[in-house]
Amino acid sequence: MKTPTSEAVSLRPLVSLPVIVAALGYFVDVYDLLVFNIVRVPSLKDMGLSPEEVSLLGGKIYNWQQAGLLVGGILWGILADKRGRLSVLFGSIIMYSFANILCGFVQSPDVYALLRFVAGVGLAGELGAGLTLVAEILPQRLRGYGSSIVASVGLLGAVVAFLTNNLFDWRTTYFVGGGLGLVLLLMRVGLLESGMFEKAKVLPSKRGSLLSFFTDGPRFWKYMRCIGVGVPTYFVIGIMATYGNEFGAALGVQPDIVAGKCVMYVFIGTVIGDMFSGILSQWLQSRKKAIGVMTTMTLVGITVYLYGGIQTASSFYALCGVLGFSIGYIAMFLTATAESFGTNLRATATSTVANFVRATTLLTLPLFQTLKPSLGVITAGALVAALCFLIGYISLYFMEETFHKNLDYVE
C-alpha cells in the first residue's frame, strides 16, 4: 500500500524546474499572443481609425500575426529537433519580447502589422518546444497532469493581459508583456536539455525534417489529424471571442459587449478546462475520449451562443467562460501530437501543429468576413463553425490513441 510520502514523491517531477519554466513560458506566450486581441479596438481607435476600419484592418493585422505563427512554427519546430528544445526556448522569447515592446511605440497600422508578424514568428516557438520538453522528461503516468499544469498556468497570461490593459493604457500593456519575457529569459539559464533528444542526436535518423511529414502517407495523415482536432479551439478564440462585440450587437445584447472582456472570460474558462481535461484523460486512460468530450461541449456552447436568445451582457460573458472551459483541451491535443511522433520529429510536429492550428484563422476569418455582409454575423459564424467541427470530429475519429505510448523512439 502507498503511503502519503511515497505518493508525494511520485508527483515530484510535476514541480521540477523544466515544468515550472515551461508553464511560465506559456504564460508570457499567451499574454503576448492575446494582447492584440485585447487591445485591438482601443489601439486602432487611438490611431484615428473608424469603427469599420477597426474591424477590417484589425482583422488584417491579426492575420499578419497568425501568418507569423505559421512561419515561426516551421522555423522553430525544425530548429528544436536539429539544435535542441532549449535553443528554441531562448531564441523565440528574445524575438517576441522585443517585438512586443516595439508595439508599444507604434503609430501606424502598417508598422503595427509588421511588428505583429515578427511577434508571431517569435511566439510560435514557445508552446511546442515547452510541451515537447515536458513530455520527454515526465514519466508516462504524469504526462497528462504535466500538460494541464503548463496550460493552466500559461493561459492565465490572457487574464493578466486584460487586467493590465484595464489598469494602464494599451501601450503600457505591450511594455509589460515584453518585459515579462525578458525576465523569464533569465530564469531559463541553467535548464538542461531533454535526455531523449541527447540520445537521438547520436542516431543516424534525420532530425527536424518538415518534408518527412509529406513524403510518407500514413505519417502525413496522422499529422493532418493532429491539426484537425484543434481547429474548433481557435475558431472560438479567433472569431467568437475576438469578435464578441459584433456578435453581441447582432444579438441585441445590452449593454454593449467589449471584445477584450470576451477574450478574458474565454481564457479564464480555458485555464479551468485545461486542468479538467488533463485529469479527465488520466481518469479515462485516453486522450481521444477526453478530447471528444471537450469538443462536444464546445459545439453545444456555440449553439447556445448563437441561437440561445442571450440578451444580457452578464449572460454573454458567462457563456464565453463556458466556451473557454470547453476548449480547454489545447494542451491535451498538443500532448497527443508530441506522443504521436518519434524524438527526431517530435518538436517539429508539436510546434508546427500548434501554430498551424492558430493560423487556421488565416482561412476562417476571411471566410467569416466574406459571408458576413450577405448572411449576417450570426449565420456567417454558424457556417464557419459547422466547417470547423466537421474537420475536428473526422480528425478525432481517425486519430491514434497515445495515452500509454512509450516516447523513447525515432521515426
> 352 in a domain, yes or no?
yes
The reply to whether 46 falls in a domain is yes
Instruction: Decide if pLDDT at 200 tops 80.
Output: no
Per-residue pLDDT, 3:
42
Q: What is the CATH number of the domain that holds 166?
A: 1.20.1250.20
Residue 173 lies in domain: 15-186+209-398
Tens-digit pLDDT profile for residues 144-182: 788 778 877 877 887 888 889 889 999 999 999 999 999
- Tell me, yes or no, whether 3 lies in a domain: no
Q: What is the mean pLDDT of residues 396-402?
A: 93
Q: Assign 3-class secondary structure to the chain.
A: CCCHHHHHHHCHHHHCHHHHHHHHHHHHHHHHHHHHHHHHHHHHHHCCCCHHHHHHHHHHHHHHHHHHHHHHHHHHHHHHHHCCHHHHHHHHHHHHHHHHHHHCCCCCHHHHHHHHHHHHHHHCCHHHHHHHHHHHHCCHHHHHHHHHHHHHHHHHHHHHHHHHHHHCCHHHHHHHHHHHHHHHHHHCCCCCCCHHHHHHHCCCCCCCCHHHHCCCHHHHHHHHHHHHCCHHHHHHHHHHHCCHHHHHHHHCCECCCCHHHHHHHHHHHHHHHHHHHHHHHHHHCCHHHHHHHHHHHHHHHHHHHHHCCCCEHHHHHHHHHHHHHHCCCHHHHHHHHHHHCCCCCHHHHHHHHHHHHHCCHHHHHHHHHHHHHHHCHHHHHHHHHHHHHHHHHHHHHHCCCCCCCCCCCCC
Whether residue 150 is contained in a domain is answered as yes
Give me the mean pLDDT over the 388-394 stretch: 97
Position 204 scores a pLDDT of 52
Domain assignment present for residue 25? The answer is yes
The count of structural domains within the chain is 1
Res. 83: pLDDT tops 80: no
Q: Who has greater pLDDT, 92 or 229?
A: 229
Task: Specify if 22 maps to a domain.
Answer: yes
- The answer, yes or no, to whether residue 80 has pLDDT greater than 70, is yes
pLDDT at 208: 66
Residue 241 lies in a domain: yes
Average pLDDT over residues 374-394: 97
